[in-house]
Amino acid sequence: MATVLPGGARPGRWAELLLLILALGMSFFAYAQVALAVTGRLPAQMSVQCGGFTVLVLVVHLILRWRAPYADPVILPVAVLLNGIGLAMIYRLSLRYEERGVDPGSSIASKQLIWTVLGLVAAAVTVTWLRDHRSLRRFTYTALILGLVGLVAPLAPLIGTSINGSRIWIHVGPLSFQPAEVSKIALAVFFAGYLVTRRDAMALAGPRVLGLQLPRLRDMGPIMAAWVISVGLLVFERDLGTSLLIFGLFVVMIYVATNRPSWIMIGLILFSGGVVVAYRLFTHVQNRFAIWLTPFDQSLYEAQGGSGQLVQGLFGLANGGLFGTGLGRGRPDITPLAYSDFIFASIGEELGLTGVVAILLVYLVLVERGLRTAIGTRDGFGKLLATGLAFTLAFQLFVVVGGVTRVIPLTGLVTPFLAYGGSALLANWIVVALLLRISDGARRPPPATSEIDIGPVLQAEAARAASSSSAARPHGAATPASGGPLTERAGDQIATEAVRRP
Amino acid sequence: MNREIRRVSLVVTAMFIALLVASSTIQFAAAGKLRADPRNSRTFYDSFDRDRGPIIAAGGTIVAQSKKSDDDYSYQRVYANGQLYAPVTGYVTVVGPPSGLELIENEVLEGTADSLFWTRVQDVFTGKKPTGGAVELTIDPAIQQAAWDALGEVQGSAVVLDAKTGEILAMVSKPSLDPNSLAVHDPKAVQATYTALEKDPTGPLHNRAIGGDLYAPGSTFKLITAAAALESGDYSADSQLEAPQALELPNSTRKLTNFADSSCAAAGVMTLAEAMTVSCNTAFGWLGMKLGANVIANQAERFGFGQDLSIPLYVSPSTFPKAMDRAQTAMAAIGQFDDRVTPLQMAMVVGAIANGGREMRPHLVRSERAADLSVVREVRAEELAQPISRATAATLKDMMIEVAETGTAKRAQVQGVTVGAKTGTAETMEGQAPDVWTVAFGESQGRTVAVAVVVEDGGALGRSGSGGAVAAPMAAAILGAVFE
């Protein structure tokens, strides 16, 4: 893991500021365009709203300068841009819903704005409060409990509610929340903490079957547990999306932790098995597959809960064509849930293939920046956590957009940052804050200890040790009580520095 | 771990590529098909948000146009005198594709037709909001109105053709529908109206002039049988035909009789011209058997039977039955048995007779115009076929004039106009009132016009109705309006 140099000494905060101005400018332009196209004039409170949003974003920027000066300069602007475009689109739909006098009405835009503010505040607090991501490792098992509680909470009798056939919401008083969104972060923390401790044991060779080195049977416990949780989600909450997300997250993290492709094979086999069983047992799973494969079938199209929504989304995308109808000029509201599950279709209709490609690439930049952070980070826990969080964003996007574009069967998940949904927005801003925090550690130049002059022979030694370190070096597992992270970090730095100098 | 993270990065990139490919497929490669799907309501909504061009009758009368609206859609389609023009214009609706010329000329009206390409390019440069083009009809509002009024309250249809150009001057179908009731913006109301129209036993959704269930032509078909006889070279207007009181039909217990069981000729023989004048069933039945089914079928085909035609509305092909025995041939020769025709086809037959044997291609659209009304495409008169020789045409024309002067179609006469006509009284079912016909031409001041009128169930006279009594006065009224 020492093949990559630390990101260099340039913090990149000015680049971030420039990108932020661009992101804000594009978002405001989209907002104005929507209002002009639909109502013919700018929104009354546009200057207040845009001013407030700008101030808030700049505050986050300043906090980064203060608390995480080496944080990746691209992550925040990209998140702001996606959030801003999402807000403009939701505002556009709210105007239309208001005009037609149908649910969910005009309130979605202001609600989403409030959640955006809360998200930014949560991100600022996270970056300020969490000085070093490694301290999260102390909460490995707390995170597990938090994550599981979040997943199970919707099943609780009084607070849990079922919406559109999925039981994934909790209501407390007037507030509703999708706890699974926070669970995914907690579980990523748990997986990272757990796997970084157990990775060596889990990487040990077991039986060899058909040329594939399988893990030992007794190490199969965790993946089976993750599988059972996923299947449980599918069965009891009918939450295909989160089920897929949790399991995918675990398989990717265990693969990265242990360097054993066999985990992926095992994961795929378990997953396929789960799918086959679910398909046999549950009509709603069969229905999803039928919708995916034959959406244009007339009876399926007309059926309640049939393919109508998907097909209308496809029509919307098709009518958008290459360049879209222009913001505010399409008919995205025809598609049910155009502001949440189908926001991608709404954007595709009004911004066209051009806009869709741009947005997908912006997401790709965000995810790749997250993975780059994972590569640049020196501690195993940070690597796993960053990989997990970045992958969560990518996978979540793939599951939703893939569902809308018929790459995979449609499952309910929130398009990160774009779609309407407070819990998801809050959770994704925390994900971004964590990535920023980890990236600060990854890009920060090594402290003065690295200046120690070591001779050329030692350098070579260290380089060799470093290159073989990722799999062989006993991480926290061997020295759990002695403040593992610190020792580990020192070792990593010397190794990295040693490679850097020749 | 970095190697694994890079692999994860590759997997992520692959997932994004999958999404990009899927999006491109939907939004580019398959977009045309998805846009054309009849369930894609966005396409119709789009058309309601466009300044759709007008449909204009000859002389500048606006028949259909879009007016600004402030509800869900930017424009409301308005049909002036909707019932009168419904068979021509069709309608637009928020629940499905348009119909009639609204559908056929959709691209012109929306402004997306190839012929309007340069107009669109100009719009791009001048920054003008693109608007739809206009469609100018051949329909003459005065004649259309006269035909509508002439039919009165009956079910039926009337078609008026300019025999020299093929322009359709009037096309009426009754009962009609009000396109405005289907162009409203409330989908539920539209659906309810449409369902009611669909269930209406009188069939207001059918354009009887060119489609629907078609009609038995009755004795008007004798024009085609006579044309076949004359074209064969074996007969002339003076050829003697056998005309018994009742014609024995081979291999059948039924006998072919004349209207009201009368005898056409005391001598039992008469000339072709005489047989035409009194519309003698037994004489034409005998002639039909002499000619044979194939000869008559060939002649009918040359007039356009069995052939696809678009005006540019689709016209159901008229049919002459195949594989008949001699008895059936005799019946088919007088327009009974399984002969099925559209009023337009019969008007075309008369038009060819009146126009020296040249059958002109019938058309409804005179020109397509850009939004500024400059002509982008003009429809010219074009010969569709020459089904009969000039000599045959002249002979038949004289026969028809004789029919109008002394025969069954005396009531088709119009003062100051040379009128030739042929009546028909088609028995539809035993004991039911007949569908009655008059086909006619009028000629005056160098203008030649062909008319076909059909009235279902004997019109006002019911079971005692006949072509001469019911339809001929209607034809006269229409011709009177043409030559006013």
- Sequential DSSP letters for B95-146: TB---HHHHHTHHHHHT-SGGGHHHHHHHHHHTPPP---EEEES--HHHHHH
User: Looking at CA atoms only, how far is residue B177 from chain A in angstroms?
Assistant: 29
Test the B interface: residue of A375, A389, A467 with most B CBs within 10 Å = A375
Which one of A3, A255, A398 has the shortest CB-CB distance to B4? A255
Residue A2, pLDDT above cutoff 60: no
Which one of B1, B12, B27 has the shortest CB-CB distance to A318? B27
pLDDT mean over A255-279: 87
- pLDDT tens digits, B285-305: 889 988 888 899 999 999 999
More confident residue, A438 or B49: A438
Which one of A322, A374, A394 has the shortest CB-CB distance to B15? A394
Q: What amino acid occupies position B145?
A: Q
CA distances to A172, A295, A296, A335 from A307, in Å? 33, 5, 7, 11
pLDDT mean over A129-158: 87
Residues 427-466 on A with a CB inside 8 Å of B are none
Q: Do A383 and B5 touch (CB under 8 A)?
A: yes
Give the burial class of A368: count Cβ atoms within 10 A of its Cβ; 0-12 exposed, 13-18 middle, 19 or more buried: middle
User: Looking at CA atoms only, how far is residue B9 from chain A in angstroms?
Assistant: 7
pLDDT mean over A2-15: 65
Q: Do A402 and B19 touch (CB under 8 A)?
A: yes
More confident residue, A230 or B166: B166
B218-365+380-482: which CATH number, 3.90.1530.10, 3.20.20.70, 3.30.460.40, 3.40.710.10?
3.40.710.10
More confident residue, A169 or A197: A197
Residue A302's pLDDT is 82
Residue B15's pLDDT is 95
**A5 phi and psi angles, rounded to 5 deg:** -80, 150
Q: How many CB pairs under 8 A join A and B?
A: 138
pLDDT mean over B122-129: 60
Q: Do B19 and A380 touch (CB under 8 A)?
A: no
Q: Do A375 and B4 touch (CB under 8 A)?
A: no
A497 with A466: CB under 8 angstroms?
Answer: no
Own/partner long-range contacts of A300-305 (Cβ < 8 Å, ≥24 apart): A301/B39, A305/A165
Q: Could you tell me the two tokens for A494?
A: 């010397």
What sign has the CA pseudo-torsion A55, A60, A66, A72? negative
Which one of B4, B27, B42 has the shortest CB-CB distance to A353? B27
Residue A471, pLDDT above cutoff 70: no
- pLDDT tens digits, A146-160: 988 888 888 877 777
A348 interface with B at CB cutoff 8 Å: yes
Distance of CA A238 to the CA centre of its chain: 21
Domain ranges of chain A: 455-500
Q: Do A321 and B6 touch (CB under 8 A)?
A: no
- pLDDT tens digits, B422-440: 998 888 777 788 889 999 9
Average pLDDT taken over every residue of chain A: 83
Q: Do A383 and B1 touch (CB under 8 A)?
A: yes
Residue B245's pLDDT is 77
Which residues in chain B are closer than 8 Å to A394, comparing Cβ atoms? 12, 15-16
B158 with B145: CB under 8 angstroms?
Answer: no
User: How would residue B392 be classed by pLDDT, with cut points 50, 70 and 90?
Assistant: very high
Residue A472's pLDDT is 42
A264 interface with B at CB cutoff 8 Å: no
Q: Do B27 and A384 touch (CB under 8 A)?
A: no
pLDDT mean over A324-334: 86
User: Looking at CA atoms only, how far is residue A353 from chain B in angstroms?
Assistant: 6
Distance CA B202, CA B199 (A): 9
The percent of residues in chain A predicted with pLDDT above 90, rounded, is: 45
Average pLDDT taken over every residue of chain B: 87
User: How would residue A24 be classed by pLDDT, with cut points 50, 70 and 90?
Assistant: very high
Which residues in chain B are closer than 8 Å to A3, comparing Cβ atoms? 2
Which residues in chain A are closer than 8 Å to B19, comparing Cβ atoms? 360, 397-398, 401-402, 405, 407
Residue B121, pLDDT above cutoff 70: no
Distance CA A22, CA A29 (A): 10
Residues belonging to chain B with any Cβ–Cβ distance to chain A shorter than 8 Å:
1-6, 8-9, 12-13, 15-16, 18-20, 22-24, 26-28, 30-35, 37, 39-43, 45-46, 72
The catalytic site residues of B sit at 219
Residue B348's pLDDT is 95
More confident residue, B58 or A80: A80
Which residues in chain B are closer than 8 Å to A296, comparing Cβ atoms? 37
Residue A488, pLDDT above cutoff 70: no
Residue B132's pLDDT is 80
Give the burial class of A180: count Cβ atoms within 10 A of its Cβ; 0-12 exposed, 13-18 middle, 19 or more buried: buried
Distance CA B92, CA B41 (A): 13
Is ipTM strictly over 0.90?
A: no
pLDDT mean over B260-278: 81
pLDDT mean over B448-469: 86
Distance CA B143, CA B125 (A): 42
Test the A interface: residue of B4, B35, B73 with most A CBs within 10 Å = B4
Which residues in chain B are closer than 8 Å to A315, comparing Cβ atoms? 34-35, 37, 39-42
A9 with A445: CB under 8 angstroms?
Answer: yes
Residue A164's pLDDT is 65
Residue B213, pLDDT above cutoff 80: yes
Confidence (pTM): 0.64
Domain ranges of chain B: 218-365+380-482
User: Looking at CA atoms only, how far is residue A499 from chain B in angstroms?
Assistant: 15
The percent of residues in chain B predicted with pLDDT above 70, rounded, is: 95
Residue partners of A62: CB distance under 8 A and separation at least 6: none
Element (H, E) at B256: strand B255-257
Number of other residues whose CB lies within 10 A of the CB of residue B411 = 19
Q: Do A353 and B4 touch (CB under 8 A)?
A: no
